[in-house]
């Protein structure tokens, strides 16, 4: 099958559930739809079948993604998507298991499951839709809200340090870690493709715009302004490595930040079964 | 750590601990997935399964906590495996949100709670029946539950199998409530021949994927169930959903979902309820007790009978749904009722509720919550007092 370069909607349409679930719940200008499009195009490019894909999410705006797409889909409890996905993948390692989770879902309430999935290096792809805020509940601070930024629960500006999701994932042991944005759609698609094919735990931190809950409180009240920020303030790793220290301030690195080939959990368990059964 | 005793289902008795019997029952019922987090007094279940499951190509995972354990077994069940977790008091509390998820999404799985003293970390190695109401009402929302309660090692085995069967049949999590003493106690038991076991497995759908409705109502509640990865793509969500599994806000669909959860239990009480009556035919003093307390009560009843006192015992094996009708008819004729339990009175209110319209009942409570068992002597003493 050839990719319809000029009519990308056609690609997306073949994966949507047309019978029930539209219109979607997202606000105009939200980045969630763009990221979903990138995920679907990556799936199309790789030629993965609908039946082999399981999409699991937690609770949040971004976690509503699975309901719209025609895969095996599971919308779980807040923060627990990765633990559910661990059960699915371990029960049937043939399933391509993709987790869609928000920054709050993955790193606050679900922080424990997140670091342990990385440590275990189980072969799932964790896509963190990072809008730096709790969108669904209306704009409370998240572990990725930067100091000084505003949220409904940080009316004087956040004073807590924020997580760098990629550093967290690398430190915890994930074997593929990357960052991209909703603006960089081609890059996102390619990174998703790599992540889906990577044997091991892959984590992608996708910076997205939430003009409604985040932007309007932080001088970025339109989606366009937020996308412009993503375009101008992020920089590919290779370029970042070359620029002098003083120019790095405020810049966010994109691209593959870590990759290794360490042992993957379900494969190791298979070896254990074979050893025990001998 | 101990391993499962080899017993090739001959007539040879085998010495088994309650936790071991749960493992044996689970494996015989078809368990191939366990996700758990260690906690006394349930830990042996995880330890033994970590050794046994790979031998049969099953899967064992020690999760990072109980929230993850519960999530992992639900995920595994959705992917087609019979799955279980085991925990005790504090861990059971942590599982509640996801137990509710399994209720709402109708995912079969088994949760073993080997009870310990509480609240909080409480008494890790002392018996307590403090989680009866947690088993019933622990998770938020409004729905029935199935919880089973053994009183012997053989029953730990048998009710574990039954828990899996009911889970698969009614597409729901089933709770096995255990007592700390039973978990750790050893008894010599004879297991039934394997070919005589009645094992219920999910029924695969018999319609093409386009026709399949994951939550289609079925009068027999034994609905076909597709697993992820088999070509039947569907949505599962903890949000209130329609027949296809899609979230809904429509009043009639909400009502239908809630009624379905309720009715699949309510309409099958005959199948769900198991209850034992012991010397109740002519009992004037009836004891109501479950689990380990019922064992002391049986002994007390025998001793009372030896003294010429007409005592008897009613013991629920199914504690939830509460056996309203059977308790009522069994207790109809006795004058006094002693409710003996290892807590400050969780069961007595249920017994009072179902017998409230019966005339002239005298209720007596025998409650112990200091970490000690209720002895046969204590029950006998009570019987003699109230007779
Ligand atoms: C146990 C529990 N606590 C709190 C909530 C309320 N809640 C729903 S979504 C959410 C935050 C979502 O934020 P994030 O994960 O960043 O996703 P976003 O909505 O921004 O995509 C919270 C706190 C919940 N559903 N469950
Ligand atoms: S609140 Fe923010 S994240 Fe949620 S749908 Fe609206 S724009 Fe998107």
Asked if the model's pLDDT at residue B4 lies above 90, the reply is: no
Atom 3 in ligand 1: which residue has the minimum CA distance? A78
What chain B residue is nearest to A112 in terms of C-alpha separation? B64
How close is the Cα of A12 to the center of ligand 1, in Å?
A: 27
Share of chain B above pLDDT 70, in %: 97
Main-chain dihedrals φ then ψ at residue A12, nearest 5 degrees = -65, -40
Nearest to B75 among A71, A75, A84 (CB): A84
pTM comes to 0.97
Angle, helices B66-78 vs A81-91, to 10°: value is 50
Tell me the pLDDT tens digit for each residue of A180-191. 999 999 999 999
ipTM of model: 0.96
Cβ within 8 Å, pair B71-A116: no
Asked if the model's pLDDT at residue A203 lies above 70, the reply is: yes
Give whole-number Cα distances, B115 to B89, B135, B180, in Å.
6, 10, 6
Cβ within 8 Å, pair A277-B55: yes
Q: Mean pLDDT of all residues in chain B?
A: 95
Please give the interface size between A and B, counted as residue pairs whose CB atoms are below 8 Å apart.
Answer: 137
Cβ within 8 Å, pair B76-A272: no
Mean pLDDT value of segment B110-137:
97
**Which ligand has its closest atom nearest to the C-alpha of B96?**
1
Atom 2 in ligand 2: which residue has the minimum CA distance? A210
Ligand 2 atom nearest residue A26's Cα:
5
**Which ligand has its closest atom nearest to the C-alpha of A103?**
1
Tell me the pLDDT tens digit for each residue of A238-258. 999 999 999 999 999 999 999
Cβ within 8 Å, pair B72-A76: no
What chain A residue is nearest to B231 in terms of C-alpha separation? A51
Contacts of A74 in chain B (CB under 8 A): 75, 78, 228, 235-237
Burial readout B42-78 (b: 16 or more C-beta within 10 A, e: otherwise) = bbbbbbbbeebbbeeebbbbebbbbbbbbbbbbbbbb
Give whole-number Cα distances, B361 to A278, B223, B312, B334, in Å.
64, 43, 15, 8
Residue A43's H or E segment, with its range, is helix A32-46
How close is the Cα of A30 to the center of ligand 2, in Å?
A: 5
Nearest to B229 among A67, A94, A277 (CB): A94
Mean pLDDT value of segment B58-81:
98
Contacts of A87 in chain B (CB under 8 A): 33, 35, 61, 71-79, 83
Supply the pLDDT for residue B8.
52
What chain A residue is nearest to B55 in terms of C-alpha separation? A277
Tell me the pLDDT tens digit for each residue of B185-234. 999 999 999 999 999 999 999 999 999 999 998 776 667 899 999 999 99
Nearest to A84 among B74, B233, B246 (CB): B74
Supply the pLDDT for residue A19.
81
Asked if the model's pLDDT at residue B145 lies above 50, the reply is: yes
């Amino acid at each position: 099958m050839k990719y319809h370069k000029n009519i990308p909607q056609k690609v997306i349409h073949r994966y949507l559930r047309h019978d029930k679930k539209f219109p979607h719940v997202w606000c105009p200008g939200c980045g969630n739809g763009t990221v979903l499009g990138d995920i679907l195009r990556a799936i199309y490019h790789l030629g993965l079948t609908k039946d082999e894909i399981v999409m699991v999410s937690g609770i949040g705006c971004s976690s509503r993604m699975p309901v719209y797409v025609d895969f095996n889909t599971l919308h779980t409890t807040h923060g627990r998507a990765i633990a559910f996905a661990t059960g699915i993948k371990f029960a049937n390692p043939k399933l391509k298991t993709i987790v869609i989770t928000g920054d709050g879902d993955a790193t606050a309430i679900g922080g424990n499951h997140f670091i342990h999935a990385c440590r275990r290096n189980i072969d799932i792809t964790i896509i963190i839709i990072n809008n730096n805020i709790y969108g669904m509940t209306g704009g409370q601070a998240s572990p990725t809200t930067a100091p000084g930024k505003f949220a409904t629960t940080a009316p004087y500006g956040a004073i807590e340090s924020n997580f760098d999701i990629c550093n967290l994932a690398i430190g915890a042991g994930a074997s593929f870690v990357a960052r991209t944005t909703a603006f960089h759609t081609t890059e996102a698609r390619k990174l998703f493709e790599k992540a889906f094919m990577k044997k091991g735990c892959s984590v992608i931190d996708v910076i997205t715009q939430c003009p409604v809950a985040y932007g309007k409180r932080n001088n970025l009240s339109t989606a366009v302004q937020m996308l412009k920020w993503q375009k101008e303030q992020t920089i590919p790793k290779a370029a970042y490595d070359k620029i002098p220290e003083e120019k790095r301030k405020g810049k966010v690195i994109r691209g593959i930040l870590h990759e290794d080939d360490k042992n993957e959990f379900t494969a190791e368990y298979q070896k254990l079964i074979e050893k025990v059964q001998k | 750590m101990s391993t499962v005793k080899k017993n090739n289902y001959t007539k040879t008795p085998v010495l088994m601990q309650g936790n071991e019997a749960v493992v044996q029952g689970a494996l015989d019922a078809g368990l191939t997935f366990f996700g758990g987090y260690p906690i006394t007094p349930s830990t042996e279940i995880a330890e033994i399964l970590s050794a046994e499951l790979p031998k049969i190509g099953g899967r064992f995972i020690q999760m990072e906590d109980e929230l993850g354990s519960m999530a992992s077994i639900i995920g595994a069940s959705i992917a087609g495996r019979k799955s279980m977790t085991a925990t005790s008091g504090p861990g059971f509390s942590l599982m509640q949100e996801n137990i509710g998820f399994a209720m709402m999404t109708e995912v079969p799985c088994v949760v073993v709670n080997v009870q310990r003293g509480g609240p909080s970390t409480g008494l890790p190695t002392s018996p307590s029946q403090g989680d009866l109401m947690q088993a019933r009402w622990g998770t938020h929302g409004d729905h029935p539950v199935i919880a089973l309660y053994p009183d012997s090692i053989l029953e730990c085995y048998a009710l574990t199998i039954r828990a899996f069967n009911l889970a698969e049949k009614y597409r729901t999590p089933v709770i096995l409530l255990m007592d700390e003493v039973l978990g750790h106690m050893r008894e010599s038991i004879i297991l039934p021949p394997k070919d005589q076991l009645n094992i219920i497995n999910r029924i695969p759908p018999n319609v093409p994927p386009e026709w399949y409705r994951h939550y289609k109502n079925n009068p027999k509640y034994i609905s076909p169930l597709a697993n992820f990865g088999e070509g039947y793509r569907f949505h599962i969500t903890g949000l209130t959903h329609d027949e296809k599994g899609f979230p809904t806000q429509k009043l009639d669909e909400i009502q239908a979902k809630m009624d379905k959860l309720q009715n699949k239990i309510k309409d099958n009480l005959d199948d769900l309820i198991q209850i034992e009556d012991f010397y109740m035919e002519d009992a004037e003093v009836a004891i109501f007790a479950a689990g380990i307390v019922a064992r002391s009560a049986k002994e007390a009843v025998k001793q009372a009978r030896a003294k010429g006192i007409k005592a008897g015992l009613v013991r629920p094996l199914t504690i939830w749904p509460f056996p309203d009708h059977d308790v009522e008819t069994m207790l109809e004729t006795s004058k006094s009722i002693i409710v003996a339990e290892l807590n400050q009175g969780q069961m007595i209110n249920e017994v009072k509720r179902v017998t409230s319209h019966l005339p002239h009942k005298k209720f007596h409570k025998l409650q112990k919550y200091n970490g000690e068992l209720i002895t046969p002597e204590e029950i006998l003493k009570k019987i003699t007092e109230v007779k």
